[in-house]
Amino acid sequence: MAGALEEPGSILTFDPEAHVYRVDGAPVPSVTELLEAAGISPDYSKVNPTVLLHARRRGIHVDLCCDLDDADDLDWSSVHPEAVAYVQAWQAFKADYGYRPLASQVILYHPTYGYAGTTDSVGDLDGYVTIVERKATAKMAASYALQTAGYACEGMHTAPAGGGRLVPVEWGAPARLGVHLQRTGRYELAPYDDPEDLAAWLGVVALARWRKARG
């Protein structure tokens, strides 16, 4: 599972349909794949597949609409009626807390631990660079704290949204926050500030690698 930047200028590509990250052509696991391999992700096995597919599609649409809103390019006529309240909840969060998005769908890669992922939003919150994960799920899972820890791990590199040359991130040690968007148009915050999250995340990486090595 481990990967490394053999030399400056490595290229990261991402296939969104297959959800596969590659660095210089070699596949690398994603943050969500590692969480699943370690048995940490939410268990949706008992959810009706049709319901689960609908929820996933709704989440993708909500994310896209929120990204467009961050770029001041949202056409409300393109927002599915079922998604309107979730997008309004995102707008309310930004207005209430003065959150200023700096970049959306930021692709990240860690050259030492060999994993990649995409965080929903990186922005300024009270003067601190903050990684924000939006969720339109029924509830917030404990694993989301580890997901954000994976994105905030020291030594991350980033590439353009469509893939490209990897460069070190410039934000240092970012804060982490979960924003639970709800169908009522309200939101709830999940601050991820436990210093043990990083150690737990690195444990996930090690456990996933150990399980893969043993089949």
User: How crowded is residue 159: how many other Cβ atoms within 10 Å of its Cβ?
Assistant: 22
Host H or E run for residue 133: strand 128-135
Interatomic CA distance for residues 26 and 92, integer angstroms: 41
Tokens of 76: 């409300």
User: In this predicted model, what pLDDT tens digit does every residue of 106-157 receive, in sequence order?
Assistant: 999 999 999 999 999 999 999 999 999 999 998 999 999 999 999 999 999 9
Q: What residues pair up with 21 in beta bridges, in sequence order?
A: 14, 28
Q: Taking the model in full, what pTM does it have?
A: 0.90
Cβ-in-10-Å burial (0-12, 13-18, 19+) of 18 comes to exposed
pLDDT value for 33: 95
Weakest-pLDDT range from 38-47, 85-94, 179-188, 193-202: 38-47
Residue pair 111/4 in contact by the 8 Å Cβ criterion: yes
Q: What is the mean pLDDT of the chain?
A: 93
What is the DSSP secondary-structure string of 137-156?
SSS--THHHHHHHHHH-TT-
What is the percentage of the chain residues whose pLDDT exceeds 90? 80
To the question of domain 11-213 being in CATH 3.90.320, the answer is yes
Tokens of 134: 């939006």
Domain boundaries, the chain: 11-213
User: In this predicted model, what pLDDT tens digit does every residue of 71-108 receive, in sequence order?
Assistant: 999 999 999 999 999 999 999 999 999 999 999 999 99
Maximum separation of any 2 CA atoms in the chain, in Å: 51
